[in-house]
Structure 1
Amino acid sequence: MTFNSNLMQDKDQSLRLRSAHDYEDLSDRFRLRLRNYERQYCNLYTIRIKDSRRRLENIALKKWNKPIKKLIDLNSVKGEKCVIVGTLYKYQELKPSILREICKEYQTVPPPSRTHFVSEKDELILEDETQRVKLNGKLDVHSVVTGCVVAVYGTLQSGVFLVEDYCWPETELTKKLLLELKVDKYLILLSGVELATNKNNNLLLQLFIDYVIGWCGINEDFMDATQIVHIIFAGNCIRSKAKPKPKYGTIIDNEDDLEAAKELDYIALQLVECIDVDIMPGEFDPTNHTFPQQPMHKCFFPQSAQFSTFRSVSNPYSCRIENKLILGTSGQPIEDIQRYSNLTDPLEILENTLNWAHIAPTAPDTLPCYPFDDYDPFLLIERPHIYFAGNQRKFQTKLTSDSGYSVRLICIPSFVETQSFVVVNLRNLECKLISLEKDFN
């Protein structure tokens, strides 16, 4: 690590040098106001297909110029090419069910534990508000998941719809604002700190803090540091795995979690004095388990929450920074899609969810979520500029382009496993990984 004594300045001076930036929180649709768990999940699917159908029908008419039929009307057009719109459902024999609980109740041997639920017997079914139809043909059952809304083109033969082509809903392109950035401003994405289970990274975290503040690093690093305007902690700040269930009669020990929460507050406190910090919850962080996860309570951050530059935010999280629309999750939808398909590359899955126009299509089927009955907050209506997933095994990124509109896809690696973080230039969407062990030696 190289230190420059001329750059060792107090926090007040670092704050004055820090670039100003515009910020807008767009996560209101992920916040739960009134919580009613007596609702039926079917309402969520009804809303999803209703909102997606309008976009799909326009695309289908332009692409195939064929009539769009309801599933209930398919029998009247047997053998004729047509278009149908619906929600995909995958019949999977290996999908977890109540059978395991029944086996336990009757003290029989339960089925073997699995983490991947795909088999050659999986079937693809399309359903709308009226009925279902089995799909065969071009649409690969192992490359999609339950919950995706799609328009398929083909013919009905012997009760099965043979797919010749298909299309997904299009997301609206974000309206380009007149003011474009003329200088470099940077966003840092960090995930998987896991303070409760990995205490050996304290020195590296302090090095990260010193780098962001501008207290260490080589000259060019410091110049970049002064232009870092925002940090997003993308989940798993406390832990990434559930605590083992205590034995009957034992006291639940939360001391590690409490100490980790205090340490997280202290880390945030050092940063918010000179930069904006957003902290998202992860799967086992102290908030609700179901999607969308609500912001961790401000009582976990008694010191840093006093600053306007600190925000405890939801998962998923959406905001606008310097005219760039940013959207991401802590990684649960990516992991769930991996379990129920043959898609293994997190970056490919992230791009697929962008094409499917849905952040978490497997919710509520296999990804637990709140039973929304008036809107689906996970629908992708507006295409983001930066779309990320936290807590991945390795860093991956890709710049996609559609009609001249670019989207930066980012898989943020776990800090515990890689000791690294991601830096994105908000001016041109350039992205790089910085390793605290390699780049600071």
Structure 2
Amino acid sequence: MLEDESGRLRLIGSALSDEVLVTGCIIAVMGTENANGDFEVVDIKVPDLPPQSERWHASSPPSSKKVEEDEDEDMDKPEPISTGKKIAIVSGLSFSGTDAGHSLELDLLTEFLLGEALDPVTQQSVSQISRLIIAGNSIALDAEAVSHDTIGNTRKTAHKKYGYDSSAYNPAPTAHFDNFLGTILPSLPVTLIPGYTDPANVSLPQQPIHAAMFPQARAFGGMPPAAGEEKQPGWFDAVTNPWDGEIEGWKVLGTGGQNVDDVFKYVESEDRLGMMEAMCRWRCCAPTAPDTLWSYPFQDDDPFILNTCPHLFFVGSQPKFDTAMIEGPDGQMVRLIAVPRFAETGEIVLVDSETLETSVVRFAVAQAPGGTVLTP
């Protein structure tokens, strides 16, 4: 169906079989109306990637020294060279109050982020991470969590029909997550994006997780902005989902994964990078909202529309890691990253801050005859 303010029109034709389309995507079609009132499609066009700004467009690079050069000197830009600095992206930490199945992997992750892990060859620190991004689902859904005020580890049979049931609340997952952040933050800035299982509103765009949930981490948050000024991010930067920001001069767009997961409820393909590319070319990062993905009603503006093209687009809580680089009609280059769930894969994604090349570090616990062997 093609829908706008005037009404709906049923689309038919072989051209539709060559395109992956979902509800809410922005397209233009060319064709003719047949005798049955259906529109037979001959060709389909999408907006394609929006305009993309240069790196450091919205801010200044770290080095503000100006080098005077002769006018006759060749001004061609050299190829970017890796400086070793990395942006770490992790998703699906799933801190739980009842399940400690991946607690050793979380300990290894903490040591790696703090630079305490050593390269087995050089015996030197292997961590050169400049920022950690946590992309959703940091708190696990403990459906079988045991109430704290029960006796003999049995649930209460009585159910409160009205009001708040304090016995069903388990503060342990949030406390464990706060301890993790409190250990990381003195050494590394953190950007926290909420996800489906996190203590935030369900409807997109999800608002930042309230700082009251993190007694230790909130001490590293930014100062409240003065009148007429924008808020400056601190080392602990709780942001919205989706999140549009800047890191190392790159324009970054990230989500907790609900936008992609909702699309794949209705398509047969498992090409998640292909759908992420389609979202960029549709210029909409959540096309199924509000039809099948909960979102706030917006009258005059759609916050999911991409008016500018990001350099880096990542989606959290995906089944496996995958990445690709796509190019637009005007030379736009976008790095796509599907970030896997850490609780299931033990993987964290590292992005080079200069070249946007990606790598994966996997943390695993192997059972040996003499005990447990930790292998980063």
* 1:170 pairs with 2:83: no
- Provide Cα deviations, 1:288-320, integer angstroms capped at 9, x if missing partner: 111111111101111111113011111111210
1:213 maps to amino acid: L
Residue of structure 2 equivalent to 1:344 = 270
Paired residues in the alignment total 315
- Provide Cα deviations, 1:410-437, integer angstroms capped at 9, x if missing partner: 1111011001110001211100111012
* 1:264 pairs with 2:177: yes
Map 1:235-250; keep pairs closer than 5 Å: 235-240=136-141, 249=159
2:184 maps to amino acid: L
Instruction: Output the CA distance in 2 between the equivalents of 1:279 and 1:221.
Output: 31
Residue of structure 1 equivalent to 2:132 = 231
> What are the ranges of 5 or more consecutive residues in structure 1 without an aligned counterpart?
1-124
Residue of structure 1 equivalent to 2:22 = 145
* 1:132 pairs with 2:33: no
Q: Identity of counterpart residues, as a percentage?
A: 34
The structure 1 residue matched to 2:338, chosen from 403, 406, 411, is: 411
Instruction: Output the CA distance in 1 between the equivalents of 2:268 and 2:357.
Output: 30
CA 1:418 to 1:275, structure 2 compared with 1: closer, same or farther past 3 Å?
same
CA 1:141 to 1:151, structure 2 compared with 1: closer, same or farther past 3 Å?
same
**Contact 2:136/2:316 (CA < 8 Å) preserved in 1?**
yes
Q: CA deviation at 1:362?
A: 0.5
Q: CA deviation at 1:201?
A: 2.0
- Provide Cα deviations, 1:203-252, integer angstroms capped at 9, x if missing partner: 22121111111112217695551x311111111111257679x9762656
**Contact 2:93/2:138 (CA < 8 Å) preserved in 1?**
yes
2:38 maps to amino acid: V
Instruction: Output the CA distance in 2 between the equivalents of 1:259 and 1:127.
Output: 47
CA 1:367 to 1:221, structure 2 compared with 1: closer, same or farther past 3 Å?
farther
CA 1:198 to 1:379, structure 2 compared with 1: closer, same or farther past 3 Å?
farther
Normalised to the residue count of structure 1, the TM-score between the two structures is 0.66
CA 1:302 to 1:221, structure 2 compared with 1: closer, same or farther past 3 Å?
farther
Residue of structure 2 equivalent to 1:154 = 31
> What are the ranges of 5 or more consecutive residues in structure 2 without an aligned counterpart?
62-76, 146-155, 221-233, 366-373
Instruction: Output the CA distance in 2 between the equivalents of 1:166 and 1:131.
Output: 19
- Structure 2 SS opposite 1:383: coil
Map 1:164-313; keep pairs closer than 5 Å: 164-177=42-55, 183-196=83-96, 198-218=99-119, 224-225=126-127, 227-240=128-141, 249=159, 251=165, 253-256=167-170, 258-307=171-220, 308-313=234-239
| Superposed CA RMSD | 2.5
CA 1:305 to 1:162, structure 2 compared with 1: closer, same or farther past 3 Å?
same
Instruction: Output the CA distance in 2 between the equivalents of 1:190 and 1:224.
Output: 17
Instruction: Output the CA distance in 1 between the equivalents of 2:157 and 2:264.
Output: 32
